[in-house]
Amino acid sequence: MPSNKRSSMIHARLNSLLPLALCCSASALQVDALQNAAVAARAQKADVAFRAGYAAVSNGNLQEALHQFQTVVQLEPQIEEGHSALGAVFHQLGQDTQAIPELNKALRLKPEDRSAQENLALAYEKTGEYQKSLPLFEKLTSAGSEPVSADVFMSYARALDATKQTQTAIEVMQRAMTAFPQRADLYDTLGSLYGQMQDWTQAQKSFEQALQLDPNLALAHFHLGVVLANRQQATSAVDELTKAVQLDPRNASAQLELGKALASANQDKEAISHFQQVLALDASLIEAQNQLAMALQREGQEQESIPLFEKVVAAQPANSGALSNLGLALVQIGKVKEAIPLYQRALAIAPNDVTVHQNLGVAYLQQSDLDDAIREFQTGLKFAPENPYLHYNLGLAYKLKDNLPVAIKELETAMKLDPASPDAPYTLGILYMQDGHFDDAVQHLHAALELRPENGDAWAILGSVYKQQGKYDYAAAALKKAIDLLPNQPGPHITLASVLQEQGKKDEATAERKKAADLTRVAVNHQRATFATNAGNLLLQKGEIADAVARYQEALASDPSYAEAHRQLAIAFARQGRTAEAATEREKAITLGRATP
């Protein structure tokens, strides 16, 4: 609440206290003057301090008011108005723990002090002592009592909601809106209560009414965005949450919800920046770390996601989802052995989690631990017998065990359960080809290519099957399609050369073999460059800079177009102080990186 608004509120409350305090002070002066001059002087000082406190509140200087009212209660602890005024200032400063004892003292001295009752109820609600606040709120808002502020109604509703009396809280807010029909924040509070009850229709209506009254109410945009996200209205949710963060960019909760809404709308790149903003505002928010890690993982930035998942798991060791995602990220960067214990921990927490069984099975599959992989896939199918991915992975495992009949059965099941996926028919095409069932292979490969026509490998395999069937025209057409999609692969050229040879097109066959030989040489050179670069990287990590430079130069002798070797050589040159050469290599890496699709 702005300081001027706080000052005006407390000014109004103290306005009724001042005459009483002065009266009490005057009476005390008259009585004490007859008894003891020291007592009279103390009362006079208290009177001066009270006036100064009142003036400080009028000027919006709450810290000075606090000091003056503290002086009042020290000098005259039996004057109720001093405790009430001090408690009111403590409350307005957000120091409710200190406000509560002062307000209780005031009410022991003067139980009918309505201002003290109101401030004490508000302070109890702010500190979470809801049960103590409720009788005070009920008395303050009872029929026939004096009107209360909109803030009292909202605080009363929050206390009711916190004690599982949400419907009663809604009724309180409806009374508040009758008294204050133009207060947008009342509609926002009502909408939040409907949201607690998952009455999204009424919640949305309330937030929209709030925004009609105040289009710049950031909280209402935020809350409306959350409701729209729950109602699966992704585009509208993003719009509202965007408005919320534009109006209040430091609202970490709004930034978090906007990130989640963007992620739900498959806009992970945009979501990442908002999750990062959340953590810039509050680095301890575990949910933001988890959401950022998952978005990075979906964007193929597994390496960057791992430290975040590790923080989530450290803070929430029973979070099976985070354990599983961390395991998946490790698998994605080739650290399968490290992933398996994480999956096992996740299953100890959630033994019926189908996704974890599937991921653990895939990890075992990558380690060629086929029996354990099959066990995990079969366990997953006990909980989700209609899961096509489990059937597909189980089929792959049986294929690797050379149990083709069972593999084919599982893959056929996967294809029936998910007819939109090209994976099962593609793998079945390969299996049928290996088993000599060429017609079935062609049928399934065509099915796969209808779903994913850009699969160059599938076109190459289809061309090979047609070749084995002696259908050379079909084979040549499929292989040429494969070459268009895989221009740097020698295999399709080799197969096409043999097809052309069978067709009697010797010159064309020779040309294809030459292309294959050239591509093979390029592939071998690139492989050599990769090995040399990896060796250079290891040397660079050990600080053996000169040897690393030699390996990078060896890599570039094999493949001058290998951008990674230029990039790493630039780093090595920089460490040697060869700044100009480093800049040259860095520029080459950037240029080659742009040219690589």
Q: How far is CA 257 from CA 216, 246, 262, 356, in A?
A: 18, 13, 9, 26
What 3-state DSSP class applies to 81? helix
Please choose, from the candidates 58, 84, 60, the residue with its C-alpha nearest in 3D space to the C-alpha of residue 72.
Answer: 84
Tell me the average pLDDT across 294-310: 94
The contacts of residue 77 (CB under 8 Å, 6+ apart) are 83, 105
In the chain, what are the domain boundaries?
Answer: 1-127, 506-597
Which residue is listed with tokens 């209402």? 220
- Judge residue 196's burial from the number of C-beta atoms within 10 Å of its C-beta, 0-12 exposed, 13-18 middle, 19 or more buried: middle
Tell me the average pLDDT across 15-23: 44
Tell me the average pLDDT across 559-569: 90
Range with the lowest mean pLDDT among 26-40, 367-381, 406-420, 553-567?
26-40
- Do the domains at 1-127 and 506-597 have one common CATH topology? yes
Fold of the CATH domain 506-597? 1.25.40
Whether 373 shows a pLDDT value over 60: the answer reads: yes
Q: Spelled out in words, what is the top-level CATH class assigned to the domain 1-127?
A: mainly alpha
d(CA 16, CA 22): 11
Q: pLDDT digits over 82-98, tens only?
A: 999 999 999 999 999 99
Token pair, residue 138, equals: 């009920």
Please choose, from the candidates 47, 112, 117, 58, the residue with its C-alpha nearest in 3D space to the C-alpha of residue 82.
Answer: 47
State the DSSP code for 146.
P
Q: pLDDT digits over 441-499, tens only?
A: 999 999 999 999 999 999 999 999 999 999 999 999 999 999 999 998 899 999 999 99
More confident residue, 158 or 10: 158
Is 0.75 surpassed by the pTM of this model? no
Q: pLDDT digits over 89-140, tens only?
A: 999 999 999 999 999 999 999 999 999 999 999 999 999 999 999 999 999 9
pLDDT interval class at 361 (50, 70, 90): very high
d(CA 86, CA 367): 71
What 3-state DSSP class applies to 484? helix
